[in-house]
Amino acid sequence: SAGGDPAITEIQDWNRYLGEGVVTRPYGTPSPFEAHVVRRDVSWLTADATSSVSFTPLHELEGIITPNGLCFERHHAGVAEVPPDEHRLMINGLVDRPLVFTMEDIKRFPRENRVYFLECAANSGMEWRGAQLNGCQFTHGMVHCVMYTGTPLRYLLEEAGVKTAGKWLLAEGADAAAMTRSIPMEKALDDCLVAWKMNGEALRPEQGYPVRLVVPGWEGNMWVKWLRRLEVGDQPWEQREETSKYTDLLANGTARKFTWGMEVKSVITNPSPQAPITHGRGRTVLSGLAWSGNGRIKRVDVSLDGGRNWHAARIDGPSLPMALHRFYYDFDWDGSELLLQSRAMDEEGFVQPTKSALRTVRGENSIYHNNGIQTWHLNAEGGLENVEVS
Ligand code: MTE
Ligand code: CO
């Protein structure tokens, strides 16, 4: 078969012999050929793995839903392993009736299914002072988007009866970090969920099994996992996670606090440093993600020349409020060097800023809430690098 492609001319083993039977993998796992598609950490970032973060491999995914096993994880004291039968959720403080719910109790309240992104406020935090990490998994991978099933937090609070003075809610986790955050009552009664399923199956232990708080559009730190207590109060508690952490130090030495909303943001996921162009010049699919805590994404523009000229990208798939949006820009690559950027606009009219515009307002001391425009430099060989343009 001189010159013949063996993929065509030869009968392969998988074409000749029977495959494995059903239930070989009772809970399915991905193809072994996809073994490189995993969460990854950055070893120098944290002192140990229990108070650390792993990143979603955004460059390997499509559509808007993150598979459960690939959702980034952020733990302040490791993954709590909580037996659901022994788990309790307590509501106390300024309520008519302090209550304790079992998981079974929670599941008797009316359910809702909602798709939301969760972004850690520290996502892209390492990029504040300049281009740092090579790959969208590391620059933007502290975000995931799944469908939650849960009961509106409002129903549980109504059951307990919030007193008129009850203007704030403290959410507390059952893990060794006992993560605690103050949430204004208005948000708690609006769209927060107490969720026990993600993408149809039970929450993964990493995501707070058996139950977590969902705080749509707001910073990930408030989405308390292994949720065990809700205290109603008349003022915020000023916990560590809302004073020394998750505040934004400005150039004048003062800090912004209670910066809850995640602002409009986008990133090109393909091509990107971990996903170079290997097919040479010609037909090229550029793919990316956009999201905003203010609602839906209305528009995404793509630039091939570092922000001088912009082209409208095509948003494909569901456009849901406070969920990831998938965009594409299909173009003919002529093999020249390019500076790839994406810029999202949300339905409130907010436009993603350049990094220099962001630094003009926020200074250089921040970690959290970096929604600046990302630039990838594409070289003539198809390789990419994280760069900044001024
Ligand atoms: N809840 C508890 N109980 N403990 C934690 O360490 N980390 C918070 C939040 N909720 C945390 C927690 C932070 S900082 C983020 S960004 C999100 O959970 C991460 O959620 P994920 O691990 O499901 O991605
Ligand atoms: Co976080």
Q: Is the pLDDT of residue 1 over 60?
A: no
Mean pLDDT for the stretch of residues 283-305: 98
Query: pLDDT of 333-358, one tens digit each?
Result: 999 999 999 999 999 999 999 999 99
Percent of the residues in the chain that have a pLDDT greater than 70, as a whole number: 99
What is the total residue count of the chain?
A: 390
Quote the Cα angle for 80-174-153, to 5°: 120
121 CA to middle of ligand 2, Å? 5
Mean pLDDT for the stretch of residues 146-150: 99
Give the ligand 1 atom nearest the CA of 72: 24
Are 332 and 218 spatial neighbours (Cβ–Cβ below 8 Å)? no
Give the ligand 1 atom nearest the CA of 226: 3
The number of folded domains in the chain is 2
Model ipTM value:
1.00
| Residues flanking ion ligand 2, Cβ below 5 Å | 74, 120, 220-221
Which residue in the block uniquely carries the two structure tokens 């949720």?
Answer: 227
The per-residue pLDDT for 238 is 96
Ligand 1 pocket check for 66: Cβ under 6 Å: no
Is 210 a member of any domain?
yes
Return the bridge partners of 157, or none. none
Q: Is 355 helix (H, G, I), strand (E, B) or coil?
A: helix
Q: Atom 23 of ligand 1 has which residue's CA nearest to it? A: 207
Query: 269 and 181, same structural domain?
Result: no
Which stretch of DSSP H or E encloses residue 118? Answer: strand 112-119
69 CA to middle of ligand 1, Å? 16
**What is the pTM assigned to this prediction?**
0.97
Task: List Cβ neighbours of 308 (8 Å cut-off, separation of 6 or more).
Answer: none
Put the strands of the sheet holding 338-346 in their side by side order: 311-312, 297-303, 338-346, 375-378, 384-387
Query: pLDDT of 180-237, one tens digit each?
Result: 999 999 999 999 999 999 999 999 999 999 999 999 999 999 999 999 999 999 999 9
Query: 305 and 326, same structural domain?
Result: yes
CATH number at residue 372: 2.60.40.650
Ligand 1 pocket check for 179: Cβ under 6 Å: yes
**Which of 236, 255, 274 is the last residue before a domain boundary?**
255
Ligand 1 pocket check for 228: Cβ under 6 Å: no
Query: 216 and 160, same structural domain?
Result: yes
9 φ, ψ (degrees, to nearest 5): -85, -25
User: Which bound ligand lies closest to the C-alpha atom of 224?
Assistant: 1
The mean pLDDT of the chain is 97
Query: 231 and 336, same structural domain?
Result: no
Q: Is the pLDDT of residue 3 over 90?
A: no
The per-residue pLDDT for 2 is 67
Is 30 a member of any domain?
no
Is 90 a member of any domain?
yes
Ligand 1 pocket check for 226: Cβ under 6 Å: yes
189 CA to middle of ligand 1, Å? 21
Query: 364 and 292, same structural domain?
Result: yes
d(CA 214, CA 212) in angstroms, rounded, equals 7
The per-residue pLDDT for 390 is 75
Are 292 and 346 spatial neighbours (Cβ–Cβ below 8 Å)? yes
Query: 281 and 249, same structural domain?
Result: no
The per-residue pLDDT for 263 is 98
Q: How deeply is 253 buried, as exposed, middle or buried, from its count of CB atoms within 10 A (0-12, 13-18, 19+)?
A: exposed
Q: Is 240 helix (H, G, I), strand (E, B) or coil?
A: helix
Tokens encoding 53: 């973060």
Containing structural domain, residue 369: 265-387
Q: Is the pLDDT of residue 68 over 70?
A: yes
Query: 208 and 145, same structural domain?
Result: yes
**Which of 199, 227, 255 is the last residue before a domain boundary?**
255
Q: In a mutational test of the pocket of ligand 1, which residue from 179, 239, 240 has the highest number of ligand atoms less than 8 Å from its CB? A: 179
Q: Is the pLDDT of residue 243 over 60?
A: yes
CA distances 286 to 113, 272, 275, 283, 381, Å, are 31, 9, 11, 10, 16
